[in-house]
Structure 1
Amino acid sequence: MPATVPDLPLTPARPIPQLGYGVFKVEPEVAEEVTAQALAAGYRHLDTATAYRNEEGVGRAIAASGIAREDLFVTTKLWNDAHAFDDAIAACEASLERLGLEYVDLYLVHWAVPSQGQYVEAWKALIALQECGLVRAIGVSNYPRPQLEEIIEATGVAPAIHQIELHPYFQQRELREVHEQHGILTEAWGPLGQGKSDLLENPAVTGIAEAHGASPAQVVLAWHLAHGIVTIPKSVTPSRIVENLAAAELELTAAEVAAIDELDRPDGRGGADPATKTA
Protein backbone atom coordinates (compact mmCIF):
# COMPACT_ATOMS: atom_id res chain seq x y z
CA MET A 1 0.00 0.00 0.00
CA PRO A 2 1.30 3.50 -0.80
CA ALA A 3 2.13 5.72 2.14
CA THR A 4 -0.61 7.97 3.45
CA VAL A 5 0.43 11.57 2.86
CA PRO A 6 -1.13 14.17 5.17
CA ASP A 7 -2.90 17.20 3.73
CA LEU A 8 -2.41 20.77 4.92
CA PRO A 9 -5.05 23.50 4.49
CA LEU A 10 -4.11 25.74 1.56
CA THR A 11 -7.40 27.49 0.77
CA PRO A 12 -10.82 27.00 2.35
CA ALA A 13 -11.74 24.66 -0.51
CA ARG A 14 -8.41 23.03 -1.37
CA PRO A 15 -5.88 21.23 0.83
CA ILE A 16 -2.38 20.46 -0.41
CA PRO A 17 -0.68 17.07 0.00
CA GLN A 18 2.32 17.75 2.23
CA LEU A 19 4.68 15.50 0.27
CA GLY A 20 4.83 15.78 -3.51
CA TYR A 21 6.94 14.89 -6.52
CA GLY A 22 9.08 17.59 -8.11
CA VAL A 23 10.44 17.50 -11.64
CA PHE A 24 13.14 20.21 -11.49
CA LYS A 25 15.97 19.29 -13.89
CA VAL A 26 14.01 16.30 -15.21
CA GLU A 27 14.74 16.17 -18.93
CA PRO A 28 11.66 16.70 -21.11
CA GLU A 29 12.10 13.34 -22.83
CA VAL A 30 11.91 11.41 -19.54
CA ALA A 31 9.37 13.55 -17.68
CA GLU A 32 6.38 11.50 -18.81
CA GLU A 33 7.95 8.21 -17.72
CA VAL A 34 9.11 9.31 -14.27
CA THR A 35 5.89 11.21 -13.55
CA ALA A 36 3.94 8.09 -14.43
CA GLN A 37 6.14 6.13 -12.03
CA ALA A 38 5.47 8.67 -9.29
CA LEU A 39 1.73 8.51 -9.83
CA ALA A 40 1.82 4.71 -9.81
CA ALA A 41 3.80 4.82 -6.55
CA GLY A 42 1.03 6.87 -4.95
CA TYR A 43 2.03 10.53 -5.32
CA ARG A 44 -0.90 12.84 -5.93
CA HIS A 45 0.95 16.15 -5.78
CA LEU A 46 3.09 17.12 -8.80
CA ASP A 47 5.29 20.21 -9.05
CA THR A 48 6.55 21.53 -12.40
CA ALA A 49 7.26 24.94 -13.96
CA THR A 50 7.44 26.69 -17.30
CA ALA A 51 11.22 26.95 -16.88
CA TYR A 52 11.60 23.19 -16.47
CA ARG A 53 10.42 22.64 -20.08
CA ASN A 54 8.68 19.41 -19.09
CA GLU A 55 5.06 20.44 -18.58
CA GLU A 56 4.02 18.47 -21.68
CA GLY A 57 5.49 15.24 -20.33
CA VAL A 58 3.87 15.76 -16.95
CA GLY A 59 0.57 16.41 -18.69
CA ARG A 60 0.80 13.24 -20.77
CA ALA A 61 1.47 11.20 -17.63
CA ILE A 62 -1.57 12.73 -15.95
CA ALA A 63 -3.78 12.01 -18.96
CA ALA A 64 -2.63 8.39 -19.15
CA SER A 65 -2.89 7.74 -15.42
CA GLY A 66 -6.64 7.28 -15.20
CA ILE A 67 -6.61 9.20 -11.92
CA ALA A 68 -9.56 11.55 -11.45
CA ARG A 69 -8.54 15.18 -11.86
CA GLU A 70 -9.97 16.12 -8.48
CA ASP A 71 -7.66 13.58 -6.84
CA LEU A 72 -4.54 15.28 -8.20
CA PHE A 73 -2.81 18.43 -7.04
CA VAL A 74 -0.79 20.11 -9.81
CA THR A 75 1.54 23.08 -9.39
CA THR A 76 3.29 25.07 -12.09
CA LYS A 77 5.07 28.41 -12.11
CA LEU A 78 5.34 31.72 -13.95
CA TRP A 79 8.80 32.39 -15.35
CA ASN A 80 10.75 35.62 -14.95
CA ASP A 81 10.24 36.88 -18.52
CA ALA A 82 6.47 37.15 -18.12
CA HIS A 83 5.89 39.32 -15.04
CA ALA A 84 3.95 42.01 -16.91
CA PHE A 85 0.22 41.58 -16.28
CA ASP A 86 -0.89 40.52 -19.77
CA ASP A 87 2.22 38.38 -20.24
CA ALA A 88 1.51 36.54 -17.00
CA ILE A 89 -2.06 35.78 -18.03
CA ALA A 90 -0.87 34.44 -21.38
CA ALA A 91 1.90 32.41 -19.73
CA CYS A 92 -0.56 30.67 -17.44
CA GLU A 93 -2.85 29.87 -20.36
CA ALA A 94 0.13 28.43 -22.26
CA SER A 95 1.08 26.26 -19.25
CA LEU A 96 -2.45 24.92 -19.06
CA GLU A 97 -2.32 24.04 -22.75
CA ARG A 98 0.98 22.22 -22.34
CA LEU A 99 -0.32 20.35 -19.31
CA GLY A 100 -3.62 19.53 -21.01
CA LEU A 101 -5.54 20.85 -18.01
CA GLU A 102 -8.40 23.28 -17.54
CA TYR A 103 -6.92 24.59 -14.31
CA VAL A 104 -3.95 24.11 -12.00
CA ASP A 105 -4.34 23.71 -8.28
CA LEU A 106 -1.48 26.08 -7.51
CA TYR A 107 0.28 28.73 -9.60
CA LEU A 108 3.42 30.40 -8.31
CA VAL A 109 5.52 33.38 -9.34
CA HIS A 110 8.81 31.50 -9.72
CA TRP A 111 11.20 34.29 -8.64
CA ALA A 112 10.63 37.84 -7.45
CA VAL A 113 13.64 39.19 -9.44
CA PRO A 114 13.61 42.52 -7.51
CA SER A 115 15.80 44.24 -10.10
CA GLN A 116 13.03 43.95 -12.71
CA GLY A 117 10.58 45.78 -10.46
CA GLN A 118 7.56 43.81 -11.70
CA TYR A 119 6.95 41.42 -8.81
CA VAL A 120 3.85 43.33 -7.61
CA GLU A 121 2.38 43.36 -11.13
CA ALA A 122 3.02 39.62 -11.46
CA TRP A 123 1.22 39.03 -8.17
CA LYS A 124 -1.76 41.11 -9.31
CA ALA A 125 -1.95 38.93 -12.43
CA LEU A 126 -2.07 35.78 -10.30
CA ILE A 127 -4.89 37.27 -8.25
CA ALA A 128 -6.81 37.82 -11.49
CA LEU A 129 -6.09 34.26 -12.64
CA GLN A 130 -7.51 32.90 -9.42
CA GLU A 131 -10.58 35.11 -9.69
CA CYS A 132 -11.33 33.78 -13.18
CA GLY A 133 -10.86 30.14 -12.13
CA LEU A 134 -7.80 29.18 -14.15
CA VAL A 135 -5.94 28.50 -10.91
CA ARG A 136 -7.36 27.33 -7.59
CA ALA A 137 -4.67 28.76 -5.31
CA ILE A 138 -1.83 31.23 -5.79
CA GLY A 139 1.53 31.71 -4.16
CA VAL A 140 5.08 32.80 -4.74
CA SER A 141 8.52 31.24 -4.82
CA ASN A 142 11.86 32.77 -3.92
CA TYR A 143 10.63 36.14 -2.63
CA PRO A 144 12.91 37.98 -0.20
CA ARG A 145 11.11 39.26 2.86
CA PRO A 146 10.81 42.92 1.66
CA GLN A 147 9.21 41.90 -1.64
CA LEU A 148 6.94 39.37 0.08
CA GLU A 149 5.65 41.98 2.48
CA GLU A 150 5.33 44.57 -0.30
CA ILE A 151 2.99 42.45 -2.44
CA ILE A 152 0.78 41.79 0.58
CA GLU A 153 0.62 45.49 1.45
CA ALA A 154 0.00 46.50 -2.18
CA THR A 155 -2.87 44.08 -2.80
CA GLY A 156 -4.21 43.01 0.57
CA VAL A 157 -3.78 39.41 -0.59
CA ALA A 158 -1.20 37.15 1.03
CA PRO A 159 0.18 34.18 -0.91
CA ALA A 160 -1.31 30.89 0.18
CA ILE A 161 2.18 29.38 0.11
CA HIS A 162 5.80 30.42 -0.37
CA GLN A 163 8.18 27.92 -1.96
CA ILE A 164 11.80 28.50 -0.92
CA GLU A 165 15.10 26.68 -0.67
CA LEU A 166 14.91 24.93 2.67
CA HIS A 167 16.71 21.97 4.22
CA PRO A 168 18.40 21.20 7.56
CA TYR A 169 21.55 23.13 6.57
CA PHE A 170 19.46 26.17 5.51
CA GLN A 171 16.33 26.38 7.63
CA GLN A 172 15.08 29.91 6.82
CA ARG A 173 13.73 30.42 10.33
CA GLU A 174 13.20 34.18 10.04
CA LEU A 175 11.24 33.84 6.81
CA ARG A 176 9.19 30.98 8.24
CA GLU A 177 8.23 33.25 11.14
CA VAL A 178 7.03 35.85 8.63
CA HIS A 179 4.98 33.17 6.91
CA GLU A 180 3.36 32.24 10.20
CA GLN A 181 2.45 35.87 10.88
CA HIS A 182 0.63 36.10 7.54
CA GLY A 183 -0.90 32.60 7.46
CA ILE A 184 1.35 31.50 4.61
CA LEU A 185 2.35 27.85 4.25
CA THR A 186 6.05 27.13 3.77
CA GLU A 187 7.09 24.81 0.93
CA ALA A 188 10.64 23.52 0.50
CA TRP A 189 12.49 23.09 -2.75
CA GLY A 190 15.79 21.24 -2.61
CA PRO A 191 14.65 19.57 0.64
CA LEU A 192 17.52 17.06 0.52
CA GLY A 193 20.17 19.66 -0.23
CA GLN A 194 20.40 18.88 -3.98
CA GLY A 195 23.57 16.82 -3.44
CA LYS A 196 25.56 20.01 -2.83
CA SER A 197 26.63 19.11 0.71
CA ASP A 198 27.25 16.20 3.03
CA LEU A 199 23.77 16.49 4.55
CA LEU A 200 22.82 12.86 3.92
CA GLU A 201 26.14 11.71 5.43
CA ASN A 202 25.85 13.89 8.53
CA PRO A 203 26.14 11.69 11.65
CA ALA A 204 23.05 13.27 13.22
CA VAL A 205 21.02 12.22 10.20
CA THR A 206 22.57 8.79 9.66
CA GLY A 207 22.27 7.94 13.34
CA ILE A 208 18.55 8.64 13.33
CA ALA A 209 18.19 6.69 10.08
CA GLU A 210 19.86 3.65 11.65
CA ALA A 211 17.61 3.86 14.71
CA HIS A 212 14.50 3.74 12.51
CA GLY A 213 15.74 1.37 9.83
CA ALA A 214 15.20 4.21 7.37
CA SER A 215 17.32 6.00 4.78
CA PRO A 216 18.95 9.37 5.53
CA ALA A 217 16.76 10.94 2.84
CA GLN A 218 13.63 9.64 4.55
CA VAL A 219 14.81 11.12 7.84
CA VAL A 220 15.37 14.55 6.29
CA LEU A 221 11.96 14.49 4.59
CA ALA A 222 10.31 13.40 7.85
CA TRP A 223 11.98 16.38 9.56
CA HIS A 224 10.32 18.72 7.04
CA LEU A 225 6.95 17.09 7.60
CA ALA A 226 7.33 17.32 11.38
CA HIS A 227 7.73 21.09 11.01
CA GLY A 228 4.58 21.42 8.89
CA ILE A 229 6.57 22.18 5.74
CA VAL A 230 5.30 21.08 2.33
CA THR A 231 8.13 19.32 0.52
CA ILE A 232 8.71 18.15 -3.06
CA PRO A 233 11.69 15.82 -3.40
CA LYS A 234 12.87 14.95 -6.90
CA SER A 235 14.32 11.68 -8.16
CA VAL A 236 14.31 9.81 -11.45
CA THR A 237 15.30 6.53 -9.77
CA PRO A 238 12.23 4.29 -9.32
CA SER A 239 13.33 2.89 -5.96
CA ARG A 240 14.01 6.35 -4.57
CA ILE A 241 10.70 7.68 -5.86
CA VAL A 242 9.01 5.02 -3.73
CA GLU A 243 11.42 5.48 -0.81
CA ASN A 244 10.81 9.23 -0.63
CA LEU A 245 7.05 8.78 -0.49
CA ALA A 246 7.41 6.30 2.38
CA ALA A 247 8.92 9.11 4.45
CA ALA A 248 5.35 10.30 5.02
CA GLU A 249 4.92 7.45 7.51
CA LEU A 250 8.22 7.96 9.36
CA GLU A 251 7.58 9.69 12.68
CA LEU A 252 10.56 11.28 14.39
CA THR A 253 10.71 11.93 18.12
CA ALA A 254 10.87 15.49 19.43
CA ALA A 255 14.50 14.88 20.39
CA GLU A 256 15.35 13.69 16.87
CA VAL A 257 13.71 16.74 15.31
CA ALA A 258 15.63 18.96 17.72
CA ALA A 259 18.90 17.24 16.82
CA ILE A 260 18.37 18.01 13.14
CA ASP A 261 17.35 21.57 14.03
CA GLU A 262 20.89 22.00 15.35
CA LEU A 263 22.34 21.49 11.85
CA ASP A 264 21.33 24.95 10.58
CA ARG A 265 24.24 26.88 9.02
CA PRO A 266 24.61 30.58 8.19
CA ASP A 267 26.26 29.64 4.88
CA GLY A 268 23.94 26.76 4.07
CA ARG A 269 22.30 28.19 0.94
CA GLY A 270 23.01 26.05 -2.13
CA GLY A 271 20.96 27.82 -4.78
CA ALA A 272 20.70 31.39 -6.06
CA ASP A 273 19.97 34.22 -3.66
CA PRO A 274 16.48 35.59 -4.47
CA ALA A 275 17.55 39.09 -3.45
CA THR A 276 20.22 39.30 -6.16
CA LYS A 277 18.91 37.04 -8.93
CA THR A 278 18.63 39.11 -12.10
CA ALA A 279 17.14 36.76 -14.72
Structure 2
Amino acid sequence: MRDNIMKNLKLGFKEDKLAVIGVIIILILTVTSAFAFLYPVDANAISVTSRLAKPSLIHPFGTDDMGRDYLARCLYGGRASLLVGFLSMILSTMIGVIVGSISGYMGGKIDAILMRFVDALMSLPTFLIMVVMNAYLKPGIKNVIIIIGLLTWMSIARIVRGETMSLKEREYVVYSRISGQSRLKIILQHILPNIMPTIIVTATINIASAILMESALSFFGLGIRPPTASWGSMLNNAQGYMIKAPYLAIFPGVLILLTVISFNYLGEALRKIFEHK
Protein backbone atom coordinates (compact mmCIF):
# COMPACT_ATOMS: atom_id res chain seq x y z
CA MET A 1 0.00 0.00 0.00
CA ARG A 2 2.82 2.36 0.89
CA ASP A 3 4.55 1.61 -2.42
CA ASN A 4 1.33 2.39 -4.30
CA ILE A 5 0.95 5.70 -2.50
CA MET A 6 4.54 6.69 -3.27
CA LYS A 7 4.05 5.71 -6.90
CA ASN A 8 0.87 7.78 -7.14
CA LEU A 9 2.61 10.74 -5.50
CA LYS A 10 5.42 10.64 -8.05
CA LEU A 11 3.00 10.33 -10.97
CA GLY A 12 0.70 13.02 -9.57
CA PHE A 13 3.43 15.59 -9.04
CA LYS A 14 4.93 14.72 -12.43
CA GLU A 15 1.65 15.66 -14.08
CA ASP A 16 0.86 18.69 -11.90
CA LYS A 17 3.60 21.24 -12.53
CA LEU A 18 1.88 23.94 -10.46
CA ALA A 19 1.98 21.68 -7.40
CA VAL A 20 5.70 21.08 -7.96
CA ILE A 21 6.29 24.83 -8.19
CA GLY A 22 4.24 25.26 -5.02
CA VAL A 23 6.33 22.70 -3.15
CA ILE A 24 9.54 24.41 -4.30
CA ILE A 25 8.25 27.82 -3.14
CA ILE A 26 7.19 26.39 0.23
CA LEU A 27 10.58 24.76 0.72
CA ILE A 28 12.46 27.94 -0.23
CA LEU A 29 10.37 30.12 2.10
CA THR A 30 10.59 27.60 4.95
CA VAL A 31 14.36 27.13 4.68
CA THR A 32 15.15 30.83 4.29
CA SER A 33 12.91 31.70 7.24
CA ALA A 34 14.36 28.94 9.42
CA PHE A 35 17.92 30.09 8.67
CA ALA A 36 17.14 33.81 8.76
CA PHE A 37 19.84 34.21 11.42
CA LEU A 38 22.46 33.58 8.73
CA TYR A 39 21.56 36.88 7.08
CA PRO A 40 24.14 39.23 8.62
CA VAL A 41 21.72 42.03 9.48
CA ASP A 42 19.75 42.63 12.67
CA ALA A 43 16.06 42.78 11.76
CA ASN A 44 15.37 45.15 14.66
CA ALA A 45 18.38 47.46 14.20
CA ILE A 46 17.10 51.04 13.83
CA SER A 47 18.90 53.55 11.61
CA VAL A 48 17.45 57.06 11.51
CA THR A 49 19.65 58.05 8.56
CA SER A 50 18.39 55.12 6.44
CA ARG A 51 14.64 55.61 6.81
CA LEU A 52 12.55 54.51 3.81
CA ALA A 53 15.57 53.77 1.65
CA LYS A 54 14.59 52.26 -1.68
CA PRO A 55 15.73 48.72 -2.60
CA SER A 56 19.46 48.67 -3.39
CA LEU A 57 22.48 46.39 -3.22
CA ILE A 58 22.98 47.29 0.44
CA HIS A 59 19.30 46.80 1.30
CA PRO A 60 17.79 44.46 -1.35
CA PHE A 61 14.23 45.06 -0.10
CA GLY A 62 14.87 48.63 1.08
CA THR A 63 14.27 49.83 4.64
CA ASP A 64 11.14 50.66 6.62
CA ASP A 65 10.10 53.85 8.39
CA MET A 66 12.56 53.14 11.21
CA GLY A 67 15.49 52.34 8.94
CA ARG A 68 15.33 48.59 9.55
CA ASP A 69 16.48 46.29 6.78
CA TYR A 70 13.30 45.07 5.09
CA LEU A 71 14.74 41.82 3.75
CA ALA A 72 15.70 40.83 7.29
CA ARG A 73 12.21 41.79 8.46
CA CYS A 74 10.64 39.66 5.70
CA LEU A 75 12.80 36.67 6.61
CA TYR A 76 11.96 36.82 10.30
CA GLY A 77 8.37 37.71 9.45
CA GLY A 78 8.18 34.54 7.37
CA ARG A 79 9.41 32.55 10.36
CA ALA A 80 6.58 33.92 12.52
CA SER A 81 3.85 33.53 9.89
CA LEU A 82 4.86 30.00 8.86
CA LEU A 83 5.28 28.95 12.49
CA VAL A 84 1.76 30.12 13.24
CA GLY A 85 0.46 28.32 10.16
CA PHE A 86 2.11 24.98 10.92
CA LEU A 87 1.53 24.86 14.68
CA SER A 88 -2.06 26.08 14.59
CA MET A 89 -2.73 23.50 11.86
CA ILE A 90 -1.32 20.75 14.10
CA LEU A 91 -3.48 21.90 17.02
CA SER A 92 -6.68 22.19 14.98
CA THR A 93 -6.04 18.85 13.24
CA MET A 94 -5.51 17.05 16.55
CA ILE A 95 -8.74 18.42 18.01
CA GLY A 96 -10.69 17.78 14.80
CA VAL A 97 -9.45 14.20 14.46
CA ILE A 98 -10.24 13.37 18.10
CA VAL A 99 -13.74 14.88 18.02
CA GLY A 100 -14.57 13.59 14.53
CA SER A 101 -13.39 10.01 15.11
CA ILE A 102 -15.18 9.71 18.46
CA SER A 103 -18.36 11.22 17.07
CA GLY A 104 -18.35 9.07 13.93
CA TYR A 105 -17.51 5.81 15.68
CA MET A 106 -19.70 6.15 18.76
CA GLY A 107 -22.79 7.50 17.00
CA GLY A 108 -26.05 7.96 18.87
CA LYS A 109 -26.36 10.65 21.54
CA ILE A 110 -22.60 11.29 21.68
CA ASP A 111 -22.54 11.98 17.93
CA ALA A 112 -25.60 14.22 18.17
CA ILE A 113 -24.17 16.28 21.06
CA LEU A 114 -20.73 16.70 19.50
CA MET A 115 -22.10 17.63 16.07
CA ARG A 116 -24.55 20.17 17.49
CA PHE A 117 -21.62 21.71 19.34
CA VAL A 118 -19.62 21.80 16.09
CA ASP A 119 -22.59 23.33 14.23
CA ALA A 120 -22.94 26.00 16.91
CA LEU A 121 -19.27 26.94 16.65
CA MET A 122 -19.35 26.99 12.84
CA SER A 123 -22.34 29.35 12.89
CA LEU A 124 -20.43 31.96 14.88
CA PRO A 125 -18.33 34.67 13.16
CA THR A 126 -14.85 33.17 13.60
CA PHE A 127 -12.85 36.33 12.99
CA LEU A 128 -14.95 38.33 15.47
CA ILE A 129 -14.38 35.66 18.13
CA MET A 130 -10.65 35.78 17.38
CA VAL A 131 -10.65 39.54 17.92
CA VAL A 132 -12.51 39.20 21.23
CA MET A 133 -10.27 36.37 22.48
CA ASN A 134 -7.18 38.28 21.45
CA ALA A 135 -8.36 41.30 23.46
CA TYR A 136 -8.32 39.24 26.66
CA LEU A 137 -4.99 37.48 26.01
CA LYS A 138 -1.48 38.85 25.95
CA PRO A 139 -0.23 39.51 22.42
CA GLY A 140 2.29 37.03 21.06
CA ILE A 141 2.86 34.12 18.72
CA LYS A 142 1.82 31.52 21.31
CA ASN A 143 -1.62 33.01 21.89
CA VAL A 144 -2.22 33.59 18.17
CA ILE A 145 -1.48 29.89 17.54
CA ILE A 146 -3.87 28.83 20.32
CA ILE A 147 -6.64 31.16 19.14
CA ILE A 148 -6.46 30.05 15.50
CA GLY A 149 -6.07 26.38 16.43
CA LEU A 150 -9.10 26.41 18.75
CA LEU A 151 -11.34 28.08 16.17
CA THR A 152 -10.48 26.16 12.99
CA TRP A 153 -10.90 22.47 13.88
CA MET A 154 -14.62 22.11 13.16
CA SER A 155 -14.38 21.43 9.43
CA ILE A 156 -11.76 18.73 10.04
CA ALA A 157 -14.02 17.14 12.66
CA ARG A 158 -16.93 16.93 10.21
CA ILE A 159 -14.75 15.39 7.48
CA VAL A 160 -13.21 12.83 9.86
CA ARG A 161 -16.67 11.98 11.24
CA GLY A 162 -18.01 11.23 7.78
CA GLU A 163 -15.04 9.05 6.87
CA THR A 164 -15.23 7.22 10.21
CA MET A 165 -18.95 6.48 9.83
CA SER A 166 -18.22 4.94 6.45
CA LEU A 167 -15.25 2.86 7.60
CA LYS A 168 -16.79 1.51 10.81
CA GLU A 169 -19.20 -0.60 8.74
CA ARG A 170 -16.38 -2.30 6.82
CA GLU A 171 -15.88 -6.02 7.40
CA TYR A 172 -12.45 -5.75 9.03
CA VAL A 173 -13.71 -3.16 11.52
CA VAL A 174 -16.81 -5.23 12.33
CA TYR A 175 -14.60 -8.30 12.82
CA SER A 176 -12.27 -6.34 15.13
CA ARG A 177 -15.25 -5.22 17.17
CA ILE A 178 -16.67 -8.75 17.43
CA SER A 179 -13.27 -10.15 18.39
CA GLY A 180 -13.26 -7.94 21.47
CA GLN A 181 -10.82 -5.18 20.52
CA SER A 182 -11.32 -1.93 22.40
CA ARG A 183 -12.87 1.08 20.69
CA LEU A 184 -9.68 3.08 21.08
CA LYS A 185 -7.60 0.33 19.46
CA ILE A 186 -10.03 0.02 16.55
CA ILE A 187 -9.97 3.78 15.92
CA LEU A 188 -6.18 4.01 16.15
CA GLN A 189 -5.28 0.86 14.21
CA HIS A 190 -8.06 0.40 11.68
CA ILE A 191 -9.83 3.70 11.07
CA LEU A 192 -7.33 6.57 11.36
CA PRO A 193 -4.65 4.93 9.14
CA ASN A 194 -7.24 4.56 6.36
CA ILE A 195 -8.40 8.18 6.52
CA MET A 196 -4.91 9.63 6.93
CA PRO A 197 -4.74 10.78 3.27
CA THR A 198 -7.90 12.83 3.79
CA ILE A 199 -6.50 14.30 7.00
CA ILE A 200 -3.23 15.23 5.27
CA VAL A 201 -5.03 17.01 2.42
CA THR A 202 -7.29 18.95 4.78
CA ALA A 203 -4.39 19.88 7.06
CA THR A 204 -2.32 21.14 4.13
CA ILE A 205 -5.07 23.47 2.98
CA ASN A 206 -5.68 24.61 6.58
CA ILE A 207 -2.09 25.87 6.81
CA ALA A 208 -2.88 28.43 4.13
CA SER A 209 -6.05 29.47 5.99
CA ALA A 210 -4.13 29.83 9.27
CA ILE A 211 -1.49 32.03 7.62
CA LEU A 212 -4.22 34.25 6.18
CA MET A 213 -5.91 34.51 9.58
CA GLU A 214 -2.65 35.43 11.29
CA SER A 215 -1.93 38.00 8.59
CA ALA A 216 -5.41 39.50 8.98
CA LEU A 217 -5.12 39.70 12.77
CA SER A 218 -1.66 41.26 12.56
CA PHE A 219 -2.80 43.64 9.81
CA PHE A 220 -5.45 45.02 12.16
CA GLY A 221 -2.91 45.23 14.97
CA LEU A 222 -4.49 42.33 16.87
CA GLY A 223 -1.96 39.59 16.24
CA ILE A 224 1.80 39.51 16.56
CA ARG A 225 2.97 42.83 17.93
CA PRO A 226 6.13 44.86 17.19
CA PRO A 227 9.05 44.61 17.33
CA THR A 228 8.43 40.96 16.34
CA ALA A 229 7.91 40.90 12.60
CA SER A 230 5.23 39.00 10.71
CA TRP A 231 4.03 39.53 7.17
CA GLY A 232 0.66 40.75 8.42
CA SER A 233 2.12 43.28 10.85
CA MET A 234 4.45 44.53 8.12
CA LEU A 235 1.44 45.16 5.87
CA ASN A 236 -0.22 47.02 8.71
CA ASN A 237 2.84 49.22 9.13
CA ALA A 238 2.99 49.87 5.37
CA GLN A 239 -0.45 51.51 5.22
CA GLY A 240 0.88 54.99 5.88
CA TYR A 241 3.55 54.78 3.17
CA MET A 242 1.67 53.37 0.18
CA ILE A 243 2.59 56.31 -2.07
CA LYS A 244 6.03 57.19 -0.75
CA ALA A 245 7.30 53.61 -0.27
CA PRO A 246 4.94 51.08 -1.95
CA TYR A 247 7.54 48.30 -1.63
CA LEU A 248 6.74 48.14 2.10
CA ALA A 249 3.39 46.57 1.15
CA ILE A 250 4.48 44.79 -2.03
CA PHE A 251 7.12 42.46 -0.53
CA PRO A 252 5.14 41.00 2.41
CA GLY A 253 1.98 40.98 0.30
CA VAL A 254 3.63 38.95 -2.45
CA LEU A 255 5.12 36.54 0.10
CA ILE A 256 1.70 35.93 1.68
CA LEU A 257 0.15 35.44 -1.76
CA LEU A 258 2.83 32.98 -2.89
CA THR A 259 2.63 30.99 0.33
CA VAL A 260 -1.16 30.68 0.36
CA ILE A 261 -1.38 29.80 -3.34
CA SER A 262 1.42 27.24 -2.99
CA PHE A 263 -0.27 25.44 -0.11
CA ASN A 264 -3.59 25.47 -1.96
CA TYR A 265 -2.01 23.96 -5.09
CA LEU A 266 -0.25 21.35 -2.94
CA GLY A 267 -3.48 20.45 -1.15
CA GLU A 268 -5.40 20.20 -4.41
CA ALA A 269 -2.71 17.98 -5.94
CA LEU A 270 -2.73 15.67 -2.91
CA ARG A 271 -6.52 15.47 -3.06
CA LYS A 272 -6.44 14.37 -6.70
CA ILE A 273 -3.67 11.85 -6.02
CA PHE A 274 -5.43 10.20 -3.08
CA GLU A 275 -8.77 10.16 -4.88
CA HIS A 276 -7.21 8.07 -7.66
CA LYS A 277 -5.02 5.85 -5.49
TM-score, normalization by structure 1: 0.24
Higher fraction of helix: 2
Structure of larger gyration radius: 2
